[in-house]
Amino acid sequence: MQQYRAHLMLCGGTGCIASESLKVKEALSAEIKKRGLENEVNVVFTGCNGFCAEGPIMTVYPEGIFYERLTEKDIPFLVEEHLLKGRPVERLMYKEPEKRHAVPAMKDIPFFNLQVLRVLRNKGLIDPEKIEEYIARDGYMGAAKAFTEMTPAEIVTVVKDSGLRGRGGAGFPTGLKWELAGRVSSDTKYMLCNGDEGDPGAFMDRSVMEADPHSVIEGMIIGARAIGANKGVIYVRAEYPLAVQRLNLAIEQAHEAGLLGEDILGTGFNFDLSIYLGAGAFVCGEETALMRSIEGKRGMPIPRPPFPAQKGLWGKPSVLNNVETLAQIAPIILHGSDWYRSLGTEKSSGTKVFALTGAISNVGLVEVPMGIPLRTIINDIGGGVKGARKKGGRTFKAVQMGGPSGGCIPESLLDTPVTYEDIVQTGAIIGSGGMVVMDDSNCMVSMARFFLEFTADESCGKCPPCRIGTKVMLDMLNDITEGNGKESDIETLQDLCGDIISTSLCGLGQTAPNPVLTTIKYFREEYESHIKDKWCKAGVCRSLCTFIVDEKVCTGCGACQRACTQGAVTGEKKKPHEINQELCIQCRACYDACKFGSINIGPAAMREGLLKDTPAVSV
């Protein structure tokens, strides 16, 4: 085997590829060849590293030096300095937000060093397209143990004891699911994987499938053995082409290695695995709906019982697990349930991957032990709200968890530990792991409207409370954000929420009101100011705000003038500018462009006042 003195782990996840990491890869190969280093330096195109916003990312081993935002132009210099002269290039290293000094080693970057990697154990360390590299990191060892040393009942017991709960959203105990399906006798059973990540703002499953496809396959093989399934299907979104490509390749390799197909590991057990491309419907995250979709029908949920464990896909006993759940299985089998329980809490054991996005400094994928406070994730790993340290900068307003089924958690509850039971207390849910941070420039009423628009659109239409109820709520929220809200609206919304929750068949309808309920609970004053004062203080709802320049603060830098697409901002350089209310379309471009906080947002009435040339109301 070829030995190298340096390994360059370049990220090939979707995020980094979008930031042109393929060009960096070509430049690297060319430069290494030019310098005659082919036999000394190895370039590995890895799966998603998780720190997507800083891409393209590369880690150089053995030192573990972390480089970010690489471009092809940086490569000749980097190769010469670091690989030939042994001088790491500080200019390309990570710098802590709003501090200048570089942090060379990946292990010292707070974003990475507070994480515990179990699901993402191989991220950035292996080439996802090579089964050998997966095996070299204990890959398929869990499967080997499960097949040669354990009975199906023992596998179920270990998974049950580990306390692993479904990571797709509902948090149902995985071991219990397996036990139920294992008990039913049938000629055919199905082991299914849900890779139809539909939550807006979540991309954990995509990253796992792209970065470590074998970890999902291994989990499925073990699950199949535990329940006695001989057929398996991975349901993946058609919008994830790279994940599909890598999963297909991984299945092929596993077949060749005797880990799929007939007589797995010489035990006489057969398991066939195929991929099914989803066609895009959020409701297919619900297990009965997903099974209908594989059958080629409209993905509409059906009442339970019978539960899928008894009658699922094609009427046969079936188990559906989420990608992240399956990626946890192999280490649990290999290291035991006590090892797994060593992290997390009594009822929420192990680790959970979150997609940390929105108005935060360090955007990316993070895996943390269950039970750590939200504050640690947001402030320490995430580096806090983006731009918070600047003068007049942004402040934290809420974190949205659980996507359209979840809710918004305010600053006062940031010390809530991240566990299934504690997060539910706030009105949100852990969900599949989307964590979207919002700062004070976000309007919570619009946010609720945004989610309702989503659920109203994605409702399959089977149950009238969900189909019609969400539409009625959406209409009311539209009215409120457009300035037509009535004082009774808040109470009506709350009533409707209760009715929809109690009368919908599936999780989509039962949770759809959560974004509205939590925003009313924690940000009621915003609803009131929209309805009574016709004032969206965040400046998001266009018909409810007026933008004016604070002459005392404005430095006349002209940034707002350049940002305005309507030519509404006028003024001489270095003198306070002015906004022409007749031309202004309330797009907020000036507000976002201003570095000095000199643009104020007033209520809608103020604009009318200014247009009539009467004295303005002061903010």
Partner 1 sequence: MQKDINILVVDDEPVVINSCERVLREEGYNVHSAMRGKDAIHLMEENIYNLLLTDLKMPEMDGISLIEWTRKSKPSTGIVVITGYPSQQSIQDVLGLGCIDYVPKPFTPVMLTDVTYRALELAKKTPPLEDFPVGDFTPEMALELNSIINNYKNMPGNLIPVLQKAQEIVGYLPPEVQKQISSKLKVPVAEIHSVVSFYSFFTMKQRGKHLIRVCEGTACYVKRVSAVLDKLISELDVKVGEMTTDRKFSLESVRCLGACGLAPVMMIDQSTHGAMTPMKVVEVLDTYKQP
Interface with partner 1, residue 434, by CB under 8 A: yes
Which of 340/591 has CB closer to partner 1?
A: 591
Q: Which of 565, 567, 613, 615 binds partner 1 (CB under 8 A)?
A: 565
* The one-letter amino acid at 1: M
**Is the peptide bond preceding residue 200 cis, with omega within 30 degrees of 0?**
no
**Least distance from C-beta 457 to partner 1, angstroms?**
8
* Dihedral angle, C-alpha 309, 310, 315, 318, nearest 10 °: 20
Q: Does residue 159 contact residue 169 with C-beta atoms inside 8 Å? A: no
Which of 253/379 has CB closer to partner 1?
A: 379
**What's 615's DSSP letter?**
P
Where b means 16+ CB within 10 Å and e means fewer, 453-464 reads bbbbebbbebbe
Interface with partner 1, residue 403, by CB under 8 A: yes
**Least distance from C-beta 460 to partner 1, angstroms?**
7
Residues 172-201 binding partner 1 (CB under 8 A) are: 197-201
Cβ contacts of 291 within 8 Å, gap of 6 or more:
192, 308, 312, 313, 318, 320
Cβ contacts of 261 within 8 Å, gap of 6 or more:
255, 270, 271, 272
Task: Quote the tokens at residue 51.
Answer: 């720190």
Cβ contacts of 499 within 8 Å, gap of 6 or more:
465, 469
Pairwise CA distance, residues 327 & 234, whole Å: 13
**Radius of gyration of the chain measured on its C-alpha atoms:** 27
Which of 201/308 has CB closer to partner 1?
A: 201
Interface with partner 1, residue 295, by CB under 8 A: yes
Residue 359: name the closest of 435, 416, 429 by CA. Answer: 435
Tokens 């929809």 appear where? Answer: 500
* The one-letter amino acid at 591: Y
Interface with partner 1, residue 240, by CB under 8 A: yes
Cβ contacts of 213 within 8 Å, gap of 6 or more:
128, 243, 246, 247, 249, 250
Interface with partner 1, residue 241, by CB under 8 A: yes
Residue 62: name the closest of 109, 5, 116, 14 by CA. Answer: 5
**What's 105's DSSP letter?**
B
**Least distance from C-beta 403 to partner 1, angstroms?**
7
Which of 146/281 has CB closer to partner 1?
A: 281
**Least distance from C-beta 519 to partner 1, angstroms?**
14
Pairwise CA distance, residues 34 & 309, whole Å: 59
Q: State the sign of the Cα–Cα–Cα–Cα dihedral 313, 315, 318, 320.
A: positive
Task: Quote the tokens at residue 477.
Answer: 């929220």
Which of 182/513 has CB closer to partner 1?
A: 513
**Least distance from C-beta 201 to partner 1, angstroms?**
3
Which of 15/124 has CB closer to partner 1?
A: 15
What's the half-sphere exposure (Cβ side, CA atoms, 13 Å) at 281?
21
Each residue 332-371 as x (binds partner 1 by CB under 8 A) or -, in order, gives -----------------------x-xxx---xxx------
Contact segment (CB under 8 A) with partner 1 among 25-33, 69-77, 587-595, 607-615 equals 587-595
Interface with partner 1, residue 537, by CB under 8 A: no
CA distances from 419 to 151, 207, 305, 351, 458 (A): 31, 22, 28, 10, 28
**Least distance from C-beta 199 to partner 1, angstroms?**
7
Interface with partner 1, residue 393, by CB under 8 A: no
- How many chain residues interact with partner 1 (CB under 8 A)? 61
Q: Which of 102, 587, 593, 605 binds partner 1 (CB under 8 A)?
A: 587
Interface with partner 1, residue 237, by CB under 8 A: yes
**Least distance from C-beta 461 to partner 1, angstroms?**
9
Residues 82-121 binding partner 1 (CB under 8 A) are: none
Interface with partner 1, residue 203, by CB under 8 A: yes
Each residue 1-40 as x (binds partner 1 by CB under 8 A) or -, in order, gives -------------xx-xxx---------------------
Interface with partner 1, residue 469, by CB under 8 A: no
Which of 345/400 has CB closer to partner 1?
A: 400
Interface with partner 1, residue 239, by CB under 8 A: yes
Residue 246: name the closest of 483, 526, 17, 573 by CA. Answer: 17
Which of 53/605 has CB closer to partner 1?
A: 53
**Least distance from C-beta 73 to partner 1, angstroms?**
18
**Least distance from C-beta 50 to partner 1, angstroms?**
8
Residues 36-75 binding partner 1 (CB under 8 A) are: 51-53, 55
Interface with partner 1, residue 400, by CB under 8 A: yes
Interface with partner 1, residue 141, by CB under 8 A: no
**Least distance from C-beta 278 to partner 1, angstroms?**
8
Interface with partner 1, residue 293, by CB under 8 A: yes
The burial class, CB within 10 Å (0-12 / 13-18 / 19+), for 357 is: buried
Which residues in this chain contact partner 1 in the complex, by CB under 8 A?
14-15, 17-19, 51-53, 55, 197-203, 206, 237-241, 276-282, 293-299, 314, 355, 357-359, 363-365, 400, 403, 434, 436-438, 442, 447, 450-451, 454, 458, 460, 565, 587, 589, 592
